[in-house]
Amino acid sequence: MAVALQAPTHLAPVQGIRLSTCAAGIRYRERDDLLLIDAGPDAAVAALFTRNAFCAAPVQVAREHLAKGRARWLLINAGNANAGTGRAGLEAARATCAALGRTLDAPAEAVLPFSTGVIGEPLPVDRIEAALPALAARLDPDGWMAAARAIMTTDTVLKGASRTIALDGGTVTLTGIAKGSGMIHPDMATMLAFLGTDARLDADLFQELLAAAAECSFNAITVDGDTSTNDALFGIASGASGVTVQTVTDRDRFAQALNALCLELAEAIVRDGEGATKFVRVTVRAARDRDEARRVAEAVALSPLVKTALFASDPNWGRILAAVGRAGVEEFRIEEVQVTVNGVGIVSEGGRAPGYTEEAGQQAFGEAELDIVIDLARGGAEYRKYTCDFSYDYVRINADYRS
C-alpha cells in the first residue's frame, strides 16, 4: 500500500510530443507493456543514465544513438530488462530499433530503446516487432496516462505530474511520468522517468537543468540501497510552443518548475516503495559541507535497523545515533548533535533529550510520514534524503518477483 499517494486523474498534453501504448505480451498478460514516444522533429533532448557498471543493453544502445545526435523516437518495454544478456541483448536492442525505423521510415539511430523488468531473460524481439505497426498508428498527444501505466512493474500506483509555467514569451507545459518501487538508490535509483515540455530550449542548457533537478530529487531517494542496470531519466523539449527559455528570469522559473516536477515524481517512487508503510525525510543540518551532510543522511536512510524500527513504529532512537556515528564524520562531537522526529526532541548533548518521553516518541514514530532532523552544529550545509521503512512485504515482493 503506497503511503499517501494517489494516481493523477489527468496529465496535460505537451505540444509536439505524441505517445502510444499497446499490449505486446512481453511478460505481462492483458495489459499494455510497450510504449512509443515521438519527441518531434526539432526536439532538444537531455538524458541521465545508470552508473551501474553492468548497464543493460538498451542503455548502451541509447547512449550510442544519442551520441549521433538524431534522437526522435523512444521505444520502452516493461517486464523484461534486457540486462545481463550479453551480445545477444545488444543485438536484440538494435533489432527493435531497426524494426521501428522500418515501420516509421526513420533511421534506426533515431530510435532510443529503454527496458525495465526481469534481469537475465532474452528480450522477445518478435513480440515487440509484431506490435510496432499498431503502436505507430496510435500516436496521440493525450497519451501520457496510458504511457505511465504501460511502464509499471512492481509499482502499485501510476506516477505522473504536470506543470504550466508563465514565461516572458508565453505559457509552457511540463509533463512527466516515472516508474520505480524497488532497487531504489542514487545514481538514477532504479527507475525510468520521461519528461516533456513544449518550451524551446538549448540542448546544453536542458542537460544542465535536468542534471541539477535530478540531484535533489531522483538522486536523493533510496528504498533499499540497490541501483539497477537500466535506470534512465529522459527529457524532451519539443519547442512547439514557440516560447524560448532565454532570459535569466525564464531560466529560473523553468528550473523551479522542473525541480518541483522531478521531486514530485521522485517522492512518488519512495511513497510506493515495495512494501512501504512510512514515508521518511531525513534532513541533516549544520554540517561542514554538503558531502558530509549527504553521508550522514544516507547512513540513516539506508540503515536496515532504522528502517525496521520505523516499520514497527518503535522509537528506538539509538539506531539513528548509531547510524550517524558510523557515517565517517571527522572530529565528530556527539555532545553537540541534536535529533528531532516530527518535532519531538529525541537527542541532545549526546543523550536523551530533556523532557523526552516514550509516549511522545511512540506518537512521533507511529505517524505515516516522518521528518527526522539531525543537527550536527558544525557549519551551514544541509542535505535531505527521502526514504521509507522496511516491511514484511518488501521481502515477500522481492522473493516472489520472478515467480
**CA dist list (Å): 324 to 208, 220, 258, 362:** 32, 17, 32, 21
Q: What are phi and psi of 253, to 5 degrees?
A: -65, -45
For residue 359 the three cell numbers come to 509516549
Q: Please pick, among 190, 197, 340, 387, the residue that the annotation labels catalytic.
A: 190
The three-point CA angle 245-250-256 to 5° equals: 110
Query: How big is the CA angle at 370 (ends 365 and 376), to the nearest 5 degrees?
Result: 100
Measured at the CA of 13, the angle between CA 236 and CA 17, to 5 degrees, comes to 40
User: What SS3 state is found at 317?
Assistant: coil
Planar angle of CA 270, 299, 279, nearest 5 degrees: 25
Q: Rounded to an integer, what is the distance from CA 326 to the centroid of its chain?
A: 27
CA 241 vs. chain centroid, Å, equals 27
How many beta carbons lie within 10 A of that of residue 194, not counting itself? Answer: 28
190 classed as catalytic: yes
d(CA 325, CA 202): 45
Query: Rounded CA gap, 373 and 47, in Å?
Result: 32
Q: Which one, of 177, 146, 132, lies nearest residue 32 by Cα? A: 146
Could you give the 3-state DSSP secondary structure of residue 66? Answer: helix
Q: Which amino acid is at 377?
A: A
The residues that are catalytic are: 190
